Chain A
Amino acid sequence: MSHTPFIWAAYTLGAVVLLWCALAPLARKRTAIRDIRRLIQLEERTRDSDS
């Protein structure tokens, strides 16, 4: 039995897990920054309409 496909499968799986772990918080950060900007814009609009 050739071991090569098993080695490739293990390292591909390892790379996918490491990439997933690395990229997931970056996507979350983008969402958080977008939410904060929206909140700032909303507050500015409310302040402008009040004044």
Chain B
Amino acid sequence: MNTNTATQATPRKNAFLLFIHKLGSPPWFYDFSGKLIPWLWLAFALLAAWGLYLGLVKGPADYLQGESVRIMYIHVPSAWMSMLIYTSNGHHGLHRAGLAHPHHGSAGDEQRPGGRRLHAGRAGHRFTLGGPTWGTYWVWDARLTSELVLLFLYLGVMGLYSAIDEPRKAARAACLLALVGLVNLPIIHFSVKWWNTLHQPNSISITGGSSIDPSMLWPLLIMAVAVKFYYAANLLTRTRVRLLEQDLRKGWVRDVAREKAK
């Protein structure tokens, strides 16, 4: 009998699945994310510097909006990011309702403060963009109003989470509200098509037919990717702190605290 048969019959471990399982271990996740975060910050810094150089220095002014079009390079990436964070929050809500990866809850809860701040920032950019181009800082059109509703949804979900003392119940209630709020995202996106708005129609299309000039499109896309790296670094940092707070009495957290004391 061949003694190697058992060894040969053992299925090969799927490296990706193994990696996902390892992420479920708080100390492993803490250590791994700690090594990854500096690289994410570096990618953000390089891409943001490149994008801002192309957008603010090399890029042209718009024939209609003039120089104020340069606000777009911070406004649009923030807008896309805040909507992506809300979508991701709804996704985490689904996971919390059903099959849960150990860090889904932590990461989902930690996304909301950043999303809310980016969205509030986006609303602020709207004032600065609206002032010189529309002649008014605010108008109750479909796009701006649906964006305001998203800001209220962020505040509502976070308020609900803070209002309930028991963390599991609080997270479940917040996730349910976040899921309901997902309906607002297509409304924001299609608002400029469905209604007459002061806000311009979408000028970028994934399926082709973008009306924006490439000299403006590239800095915009680079800035959008830069903000993704920024947010990844930020979310990992927040999740690491959350794990420290959650596992306060566990040995690995004490090791981290002792290591910091040295």
* Interface residues in chain A, defined as those with a beta carbon under 8 Å from any beta carbon in chain B: 1, 3-4, 6-7, 9-11, 13-14, 16-18, 20-22, 24-26, 28-29, 32-33, 35-37, 39-40
Contact = CB atoms under 8 A, between A and B. Distances in A.
A3 B68 contact: yes
B247 to A, nearest CB: 10
A33 B119 CA distance: 30
B118 A17 contact: yes
Contacts of A29: 237, 240-241, 244
Contacts of A7: 67-68, 70-71, 128
Contacts of B257: 33, 36-37, 40
**Most A CB within 10 A of own CB, among B68, B128, B248:** B128
A10 B74 contact: yes
Nearest to A29: B241
Interface string B215-229: 000000000000000
A10 B234 contact: no
A17 B74 CA distance: 11
A3 B241 contact: no
B260 interface: yes
User: Mostly helix, strand, loop or mixed at chain A's interface?
Assistant: helix
Interface residues of B, number: 38
Given A10-B125, A17-B118, A17-B121, A36 B68 contact: no
A17 B256 CA distance: 29
A17 B120 CA distance: 9
A39 B113 CA distance: 28
B99 interface: no
B74 A6 contact: no
Given A7-B128, A11-B71, 13 more contacts: A1-B132, A4-B67, A6-B132, A9-B128, A10-B124, A11-B74, A14-B125, A21-B113, A21-B234, A25-B241, A29-B240, A32-B241, A35-B248
